[in-house]
Structure 1
Amino acid sequence: MDAPVRRGKRPAEGDPVVVRALALLAAFDAEHRAHSLADLSRRTGIPLSTTFRLAGHLLAWGALEKDADDRYVVGLRLFEVASLAPRSHGLREVALPYLEDLHELSGQHVLFAVREGDEALLVERLSSRGAVEIDYRVGGRMPLDDTGVGLVLLAGAPATVRSRCLAALEPAAAERVRRRLDDVGRHQVAVFERSSPAPVSSVAAPVRDSLGHTLAAVSVVVPAGSAPPRAYAQVVRSTALAVSRGLGHRPPRVG
């Protein structure tokens, strides 16, 4: 019996075309910013001929570009589209004046992040020239359980997200994170310290929407030992509250 004739645009086997195209874009990250055609094929598992065809379409649209060495790099058209995302552009537009004030006051790093699945996504970073070394970059992702902004976002996340993140940790680590989340709930601020790539202290607070849901987190990152982290707590909370008010949040009156 003859094989049935396939109709439509979907490939005869494997993932749909759009899934393969997205896989090519997902091959780029902070450590892999440029790829040859063979690199893209190898990293995605997509046949070389298909990779060539899809990359050509992405080049024509502007999602990919070629560098001086004829390697593929991410194109500016993606930046144009990504800048329209409400959870980055709208939030950033409201928050930026307050973040700039906090940056001027701290003289170090100010981070602004949202939750994307089980990670924190950095939307904005303001840094002074002589600020302490950190690895975070705009558009980069950070763990929810191991950063100041991440702990704030995890504390405000749905219970299913918190349970999933805690279940992925060793029991002792999960218990430490639970205590930190309880502390965020009580004080509406997270204080976190780390030693790599340089010893730093991070103080973060939640940004809320009109319904009181945690939309984002703002933090300062300063050299460890430069000042007691709690000394920044009030100003970071005030910055987060100012951004929240700009987004329509009205905290309940006390008394």
Structure 2
Amino acid sequence: MARSSSGESVLTRAVRILEAFSPQEPVLTVSQISRRAALPLATAVRLVEELTRHGLLARDEQRRVRIGNRLWELAQRASPMRTLRETAMQFMGDLHGVVGHSAQLGILDGEEVLFIERLIAPGAVVTVTQIGGRLPLHASSAGLVLLAHAPADVRDRVLRGPLQTYTPHTITDQRALRTALAEVRRNGFAFCPGHIRPNATGISVPVRVAGRVVAALGLVVPNDEHAWSLVRSLQITGMALSRALDVRAGLL
């Protein structure tokens, strides 16, 4: 594989181009891509054109660049998340319909939560999460659930910090985080009032396959006296989803 003068492969540079996009900025100019991917403009132009020919990137009417449909298609063909998302949607839909606020599904990816599905409603409390978006593990209810059940080396790396602050209620102390993770394991849920936004409470429960935690199912609701009453409903939904996943996997 051809390499640049810095020793980077073409694939590495192409990945940096794809990583330049975000949920907040899904459309970029080539100059923006060049800067974000730390590539010479001529290199960015050449690689963008090649990726576009393969359908991995696409151009709009103003010649700006976005992720191409072909990339989505390839990701869907054999994604390990496909069964999880398809099974979760019916449970999330029921939960969302009853609660009337955001329901979301996140998985562990490195030292972050990657949100793979979300349902929102008009008038629902504002949430920072988006499909394909990420949050640090220590900061959100989904992250605490996943971190509580993560491998020990992942927990150790997160605990060593630094731990980003979103509000005064975000857990940023190592000892407090250890205590919170132990409570999640003991209680079977994470309850996070005001940890990401002061007016929002995040509640999440583990989703298991064959007893192993594979995802966190959560709600984002107003930070008020009614939030606590939703914990039991979410736990029941999480257990039902786990059972459905076991059935699909042929374990029941």
Please give the TM-score of this superposition, normalised by the length of structure 2: 0.88
Encode CA deviations 1:152-206: one digit per residue, 9 max, x unaligned: 0001100100110010146961122111111111110110012665511111100
SS at structure 2 position matched to 1:87: coil
Partner of 2:223: 224
SS at structure 2 position matched to 1:130: coil
Asked whether 1:152 is paired with 2:145, we answer: yes
Amino acid at match of 1:33: P
Counterparts in 2 of 1:53 and 1:114: CA distance versus 1, 3 Å: same
Partner of 1:112: 105
Instruction: State percent identity of aligned pairs.
Output: 33
CA distance in 2, matches of 1:63, 1:53: 14
> Is the Cα contact below 8 Å between 1:132 and 1:198 reproduced in 2?
no
CA distance in 1, matches of 2:181, 2:68: 39
Q: Give ranges in structure 2 of 5+ residues lacking alignment.
A: 164-170, 248-252
Asked whether 1:191 is paired with 2:191, we answer: yes
CA distance in 2, matches of 1:205, 1:92: 16
Partner of 1:17: 10
> Is the Cα contact below 8 Å between 1:133 and 1:198 reproduced in 2?
no
> Is the Cα contact below 8 Å between 2:141 and 2:203 reproduced in 1?
yes
Counterparts in 2 of 1:159 and 1:12: CA distance versus 1, 3 Å: closer
Partner of 2:232: 234
Deviation of the 1:53 alpha carbon: 1.4
SS at structure 1 position matched to 2:39: coil
CA distance in 1, matches of 2:125, 2:107: 23
Deviation of the 1:228 alpha carbon: 4.0
Amino acid at match of 2:58: E
Asked whether 1:181 is paired with 2:181, we answer: yes
SS at structure 1 position matched to 2:77: coil
> Is the Cα contact below 8 Å between 2:4 and 2:10 reproduced in 1?
no
Amino acid at match of 2:240: A
Amino acid at match of 2:118: R
SS at structure 2 position matched to 1:242: helix
**Please, which moves more after superposition, 65-74 or 177-186?**
65-74
> Is the Cα contact below 8 Å between 1:134 and 1:198 reproduced in 2?
no
Partner of 2:244: 246
CA distance in 2, matches of 1:204, 1:172: 19
Larger radius of gyration: 1
Deviation of the 1:243 alpha carbon: 1.1
Deviation of the 1:30 alpha carbon: 2.7
> How big is the alpha-carbon RMSD for the aligned residues of Structure 1 and Structure 2?
1.9
CA distance in 1, matches of 2:227, 2:59: 48
Amino acid at match of 1:164: R
SS at structure 1 position matched to 2:62: coil
> Is the Cα contact below 8 Å between 2:142 and 2:216 reproduced in 1?
yes
Counterparts in 2 of 1:66 and 1:209: CA distance versus 1, 3 Å: same
Deviation of the 1:75 alpha carbon: 1.3
Q: Which 4+ runs in 1 deviate beyond 6 A? A: none
Please give the TM-score of this superposition, normalised by the length of structure 1: 0.87
Deviation of the 1:207 alpha carbon: 0.5
SS at structure 2 position matched to 1:247: helix
